[in-house]
Structure 1
Amino acid sequence: MARTPTLTFDRGTLILHPPPRCKAWMDFATWDDRIEKFRIPAIQYRPLVEALQAENTDFVDKAKEFYPVELLAALEMEPYPHQSEALKAWKLAGRQGVVVLPTAAGKTYLAQMAMQATPRTTLIVVPTLDLMHQWYAHLLAAFPDAEIGLLGGGSRDRTPILVSTYDSAAINAENLGNRYALIIFDECHHLPTDFSRVIAEYAIAPYRLGLSATPERTDGKHADLNILIGREVYRKRAEDLAGKALAEHEIVQIKVKLSQLEREKYNRLIQIRNDFLRESKISLGSIQGWQRFVQMSARSQGGRRAMLAHREAKEIALGTDGKIRVLANLLAKHYPERILIFTADNATVYSISQEFLIPAITHQTPVKERHAILTKFREGEYRSLIASHVLNEGVDVPSASVAIILSGTGSAREYIQRLGRVLRKGNVKNKQAILYEVIAENTSEERTSARRRGEGDKPQKQEGKKKNKENLRVVYGSGGKGREYKAAEQMEIKYSTDESKLSKDDDF
């Protein structure tokens, strides 16, 4: 008598033995000579099970160790329309996919709604320890009767609801892979790296939710999210939610002129750089061009001189005295409002901190000191705060209403995240947020500013003579009329997502 095929989990993969008589499983399996059995990638668990079920093939599922959980919410709020729409779109897509919402739009509460709609063991993956503790605190308040644990920062819990950093989840991916039915990837643009992607690849989780304000990546790997999590199912822009879930906001660009001495030195340095680029036939309009410039700077004296000139010119644009004067005016204008100041480098952070007696946070700031500074800022003891990149994501400061970008990268993600730091309404009625972008006129900063605002394909009047086709251009909104969650309702979904049909007796 033939044995019933058994599906087992083995360190991030599946083993199906003995082979079923049907053909459905063959598209997923690869023969492993070492064990003389068929092996299947763990991420293929759901389509494999659905294929076997579709052919009425009997099999024993010993792979899954996830199970239903009771999630009785003690923290419930009336969801915003966009949260309800996003949840509906995700469910209609089979509870797999990416939701794109601006910073401060309530992605954490949306995740809570998804957990309540899919009451199974759940893994939440976040990029930083700060975010891990924020999620943990939220979940403890939301589900006080549930077992909630941490993985990372010295904690190694084994609980039905687990919050982990990407690093810790990747390290333990082989052991975590079959324990959770739902995985929530917060800031999911961190997932498609060679190190982190194993979290999704080694997991059999049939339900997956990705959350991000800016999933696009300059290396193009955001396309892998379609495989690792599921396609994008819903998207809203900050301006779509202004005055509703988010504070009304205004973006003001201030251009400052270099002094005559700064301008003369800047032009001289740029000329040195451009002469070398022209002689070497290098264009900085692409990543490949920049990589070649870096390589050439290490191979020749002329290349090194050009790179040093490039860096010195950049320092002039980033740190011109004109920006300091503008900063002083803005601080006086908006006193006593809570103000966040962002720069591109730590040296400028410390310089401004010392000159204006403003508390500073960088990656070098000890955890306890950082916590104390943020607490005093939230409570109003500190009115201003300056940082480089460490406050771009994972920090909740609803009391801030003014952001000043003195310098930054060309990353659209960084720009949106910095704007998001002042968009939370908090308890402020009719909050009006404002973002100032201070840039040096007629310098490379203008092109950097255009890139981070999604205008990288526009030709620039200075320095760049050709359109930069390689730059990331973030496309916001639904991408077309009528292509929001209503369009998701029309897509062909092969199985039900009705709440009543997602019972404890389901296969998943």
Structure 2
Amino acid sequence: MAAGTGGTLRATGLLADYRSDRCDIIEDFYAPALAAATAYDRAVGYFSSSVLAVLGQDVERFAARGGVMRLIASPQLNAEDVQQLESGYAVRAVLEQAALRDLEEACADPRVAHRLGRLGLLVADGRLDVKLAYVASGDRIGMYHEKIGVFRDGRDLVAFKGSANETRSGLVGNFESIEVFRTWEAGDSHRAVRISQDFEDLWQDRTPLLRVLDFTAAAKEVIDSCARRSTTPQPLPPMDGAPVTLSRPKAEGRLTIPGDLTVRNYQKQAVERWFGNECRGILRMATGTGKTLTALAAAAQLSRILGNRGESLLTVVVAPYQHLVDQWSRDITRFGMTPVRAYESVSRWYPQATTLLDALTLGTVKGGVIVTTNATLGSDALQSLLERHRGRLLVIADECHNLGARRLRDKLPGNAGYRLGLSATPERWFDDEGTEALTGFFGPVVFEMGIGDAIRAGALCHYTYAPVLVELDDQEAELYTDVTEKIAKVFAAQRFSENSDEDTPLGKLLRKRANILGHARAKLPALRRELTLRRESGHQLLYCAEGRHPLSYEHGDGDEPTQLQQVLGLAGQQLRMSAAPYTAETRREDRQELLRRFASGRDLQVLASMKCLDEGVDVPAARTAYLLASSSNPRQFIQRRGRVLRRAPGKERADIVDFIVVPPETSNGLTRETERKMLARELARVTEFAHLADNEVRTLDALRPLRLRYGLMDV
């Protein structure tokens, strides 16, 4: 009573039901349906790869025609699996362990092995996906026992449900029955579509009480291995009768130091110090000394050691911004791995990250890397992933000082056995609590290399330093005095316990006062003189103050151009230099093009920014940096100096031009004590910059009269 086969499902003559006492379910139903279908969806209580030995050539012909298969099943659990579930093992890991065990056993079956190899081609082509299902209700874990299927041919669909599992015994040895619903039959159409929708809901994990997990990536390694073994002559077993153990091969998949990379002696020392502190600690390394490569070298060394012990390693890199994630990803690729970039849309990166963690749990890979932003680290999606990881975990934090902020410090994964923080300035300014939280998580500073050491070692280039003195006008001086008095009141009220986070009163006042100095109007004419001297040169960075002049807010003048806009007008329109902004609004895809043009020195002479070039962005071509604005937070100006000192071909020296606000010759409302403290803050930066400059003596001598006048020779 076999149904005839044809080019479409409608032409197969499929019946409304099939029962073991009346027919051969394989020959009468499965074979003709597979012969006509272009897509096959199946959800079953149990799946055994031995079914491939039964369906045999029908599956092969279906695959050869370009058929697409989706399969959802519960694997068969043994007593050990059940005991592991009762002991609290991760459900996903136990289910995948059971399913992989069945696949491995099937590889040893000559009736099945070569057909698994054919399935490997379907997996590689993206035409076979497998998912595992289980019941999840409260604390109850149960197996999925439903049995439905759908065949499609592009026009019609045939849905069926019944007792048969996708196992050899289910299709051959057992007494089974199925009911079939065809869309071309009026009485069947509604139920056929409903079953098809039920499957789709299952596949998308939208079914209440059930969880559906991806299994394709985990299965691929076994299927590929089976394919290789089925086409490669196998060695004879030992003649002494010793048992042969067939184990699933594991991909190397771990970070490896590239052969063309020269690891400097100080970088080796940093890695050794970190290992000496049980793989925990902070590297305080100047900007431009290769913190990224040092950290990846440490991770590669750790991965190698763990790999020799048969253990895998998940590395999570946390960086402040998305463009730094992209930058880290390029370096990680150089170390032999393709990382998961976890930022922006969760739907884009979450499946990749889940697959990676599953593969690590199952041992199909020895290592993996996730690179994420500070913001995404705190998301529920990534937090839940990291919480369920039970293997070895390394956390690398770029510019780790950011993670001491209240909103981030509690998001650092406590299950990370290995921790590495990177920063030129790990101490948080006016935030002892945040600094303690950092060292509490990462450990102490285990290696230091300041800018002076880096210059002497040849890692950074020499530089000259030129402070340009400018004065506040009367309005700016009055506002500066007012804000300073408010800061003093906050300090007195809080007894110095307040930190400078953005959402605190002190932080806002300190930022406002720094902005008064940063936006001082006298800086623009002074900048014009400096730019004119270098009008024909390229590779010039301009660091501008953020936002608008504080006085524009005081007077309600929201139309006043920002300092960045004024600078671009000065350089681009008045001096006819090629100039462009590099800001948070600059599209990520445009940033690399800007940096490429800037590196040429001719196509783009001036790159103007506010904060985007502070942390992590590589601009080694920069020869001259104009510091129109720097906060009193030393982290900012230290990072900016390091940015322009990076070495580049043909670059022997850099020039730093710093615009320093000093008290005017004639009184403009500032008290002498306010003038003295303002100058002291500015001179602290001057002293820091001049100390390592090639022209240190000349610079400090030029400022000696000011120091003497205000009694600041000790600053």
Q: What secondary structure does 2:586 align onto?
A: coil
- Matched residue, 2:660: 439
Query: What is the rounded CA distance, in whole Å, between the counterparts of 2:685 and 2:494 in structure 1?
Result: 17
Q: Which residue of 2 aligns with 1:240?
A: 453
CA distance in 1, matches of 2:338, 2:608: 38
Aligned to 1:96: 280
Judged with a 3 Å threshold, the aligned counterparts in structure 2 of structure 1 residues 170 and 288 are, in CA distance, closer, same or farther, namely closer
What corresponds to 2:339 in structure 1? 148
The answer to whether the 8 Å contact 2:471/2:522 transfers is: yes
CA drift at 1:272: 5.7
In the alignment, is residue 123 of structure 1 matched against residue 316 of structure 2? yes
Does 1:192 find its partner at 2:414?
no
Q: Which residue of 2 aligns with 1:352?
A: 567
Quote the Cα distance in structure 2 between the aligned partners of 1:133 and 1:331: 33
**C-alpha RMSD of the superposition:** 4.0
Give the distance between the partners of 2:489 and 2:271, measured in 1 at CA: 55
C-alpha distance in structure 2 between counterparts of 1:96 and 1:255, whole Å: 44
- How many Å apart are 1:284 and its aligned residue? 11
Cα distance per residue 1:387-406 (max 9 Å; x no partner): 11121112111100211111
Question: Residues of 2 paired with 1:95 and 1:289: CA distance?
Answer: 30
Shift of 1:337: 3.6
Using the alignment, how far apart are the partners of 2:495 and 2:629 within structure 1? Answer: 20
530, 533, 537: which one aligns with 1:330: 530
1 CA distance for matches of 2:441 and 2:596?
A: 37
Counterpart amino acid of residue 679 in structure 2: E
Aligned with residue 137 of structure 1, among 315, 321, 330: 330
Letter in 2 for 1:95: C
SS in 2 for 1:410: coil
Classify the secondary structure of the residue corresponding to 2:293: helix
What is the CA–CA distance in structure 1 between the aligned matches of 2:541 and 2:654, rounded to whole Å? 11
- Measured against aligned partners, the alpha-carbon deviations of 1:399-426 in whole angstroms (never above 9, x if no partner) come to 0021111112111111111112111102
Shift of 1:286: 5.2
User: Which residue is 2:597 aligned to?
Assistant: 376
Instruction: Report the secondary structure of 2:537's partner residue.
Output: coil
| Mapped contact 1:104–1:421 kept (Cα < 8 A) | yes
Change (3 A) 1:280 1:111: closer
* 1:225 equivalent in structure 2: 438
Task: Give the secondary-structure state (helix, strand or coil) at the position aligned to 2:625.
Answer: strand
Match of 2:104 in 1: none
The answer as to whether partners of 1:343 and 1:388 remain within 8 angstroms in 2 is yes
CA displacement at 1:445 relative to structure 2: 5.3
**Structure 1 345/69 Cα, relative in aligned 2: closer, same or farther at 3 Å?**
same
Distance 1:124 1:117 in 2: 16
Q: Within 2, Cα distance between the matches of 1:141 and 1:287?
A: 45
Residues 377 and 385 of structure 1 are in contact (CA less than 8 Å); yes or no, is this contact kept in structure 2? yes
1:417 — aligned with what?
639
Q: What is the aligned partner in structure 2 of residue 483 from structure 1?
A: none
Is this contact kept in 1: 2:469–2:659, CA < 8 A? yes
In structure 1, how many angstroms separate the alpha carbons of the residues matched to 2:428 and 2:296? Answer: 26
After superposition, the C-alpha distances for 1:131-153 in whole angstroms (9 at most, x for unaligned) are 0000111111221xx34221113
Q: Is the 8 A contact 1:249 1:433 kept in 2?
A: yes
Comparing 401-410 with 71-80, which one deviates more in the overlay? 71-80
Cα contact 1:170–1:197 (8 A) shared by 2: no
**Residue 438 and residue 169 in structure 1: after superposition, are their counterparts in 2 closer, same or farther (change >3 A)?**
same
Query: Quick one: which amino acid aligns to residue 340 of structure 2?
Result: G
CA deviation string 1:155-207 (max 9, x = no partner): 413231111112212211231232552111111112223332344344x2211
Which residue is equivalent to 2:74? none
Secondary structure of 1:98 counterpart: strand
Counterpart CA distance in 2 for 1:415 and 1:282 is: 28
2:583, 2:610 within 8 Å by CA — same for their partners in 1?
yes
C-alpha distance in structure 1 between counterparts of 2:610 and 2:269, whole Å: 35
SS in structure 1 of the partner of residue 644 of structure 2: coil
Deviations 1:446-465 (A, max 9, x none): 3443465798xxxx989x99
| Match in the other structure for 1:386 | 608
* Post-superposition CA distance 1:10-49 (Å, at most 9, x none): 9xxxxxxxxxxxxxxxxxxxxxxx99xxxxxxxxxxxxxx
> Per the alignment, do residues 92 and 453 of structure 1 end up closer, same or farther by CA in structure 2, a change over 3 Å counting?
farther
Map residues 258-273 of structure 1 onto 2, 5 A cutoff: 258=472, 262=473, 264-269=474-479
Compared with structure 1, are the counterparts of its residues 128 and 256 closer, same or farther at alpha carbon in structure 2 (3 Å cutoff)? same
Q: What amino acid is the match of 1:414? A: Q
What is the distance in 2 between the residues matched to 1:75 and 1:359? 38
Matched letter for residue 408 of structure 1: S
- The answer to whether the Cα contact below 8 Å between 1:411 and 1:452 also exists between their aligned partners in 2 is no
- Distance in 1 (CA, whole Å) between partners of 2:255 and 2:546 is 44
Distance 1:241 1:435 in 2: 17
Q: CA deviation at 1:72?
A: 3.7
Query: Which blocks of at least 5 consecutive residues in structure 1 are unaligned?
Result: 11-33, 36-66, 299-306, 467-472, 474-508
Alignment identity in percent? 23
Q: Match for residue 428 of structure 1?
A: 650
* Structure-1 separation of matches of 2:435 and 2:645: 25
What residue is the counterpart of 1:62 in the other structure? none
Residues 1:449 and 2:682 are matched in the alignment: yes
The letter for the 2-side match of 1:115 is: A
Change over 3 Å in CA distance of 1:319–1:80 after alignment to 2: same
| CA offsets 1:203-239 (integer angstroms, 9 cap, x no match) | x221111111111102121122222112210111101
Aligned to 2:467: 253
Q: Distance in 2 between matches of 1:343 and 1:368?
A: 23
Task: Output the CA distance in 1 between the equivalents of 2:522 and 2:89.
Answer: 65
Report the Cα distance in structure 2 between the residues aligned to 1:438 and 1:115, rounded to whole angstroms.
Answer: 41
C-alpha separation in 2, matches of 1:84 and 1:191: 26
- Residue pair 1:90, 1:96 contacting (<8 A) in 2 also: yes
Higher helix share: 2
User: Relative to 1, partners in 2 of residues 1:370 and 1:68: Cα closer, same or farther, differing over 3 Å?
Assistant: closer
Q: What is the SS of the residue equivalent to 1:74?
A: coil
Q: Does 1:214 align with 2:432?
A: no
Partners in 2 of 1:252 and 1:438 — Cα distance? 9
TM-score, normalization: structure 1? 0.66
Per the TM alignment, residue 367 of structure 1 is displaced from its structure 2 partner at its CA by 3.1
1:182 equivalenced with 2:394 (yes/no): yes
CA shift for structure 1 position 270: 5.0
Letter matched to residue 417 of structure 2: P
Q: Secondary structure at the match of 1:392?
A: coil
Q: CA deviation at 1:288?
A: 4.8
Q: In 1, Cα distance between the equivalents of 2:88 and 2:439?
A: 25
Contact 1:405 1:435 in 2 (8 A): yes
Q: Which runs of 5+ in 2 are unaligned?
A: 1-82, 92-137, 140-250, 304-312, 357-367, 548-561, 573-578, 664-674, 689-705
Partner Cα separation in structure 2 for residue 137 and residue 274 of structure 1: 45
Whether contact under 8 Å (1:412, 1:451) holds in the other structure is no
2:374 is equivalent to residue 161 of structure 1: no
> Which moved further from structure 2: 275-284 or 239-248?
275-284
Task: Report the secondary structure of 2:648's partner residue.
Answer: coil
Looking at structure 1, the residues matched to 514 and 611 of structure 2 have their Cα atoms a distance apart, in angstroms, of 18
Kindly state the Cα deviation for residue 315 of structure 1 after the two structures are TM-superposed: 6.5
Aligned partners of 1:75 and 1:141 also within 8 Å? no
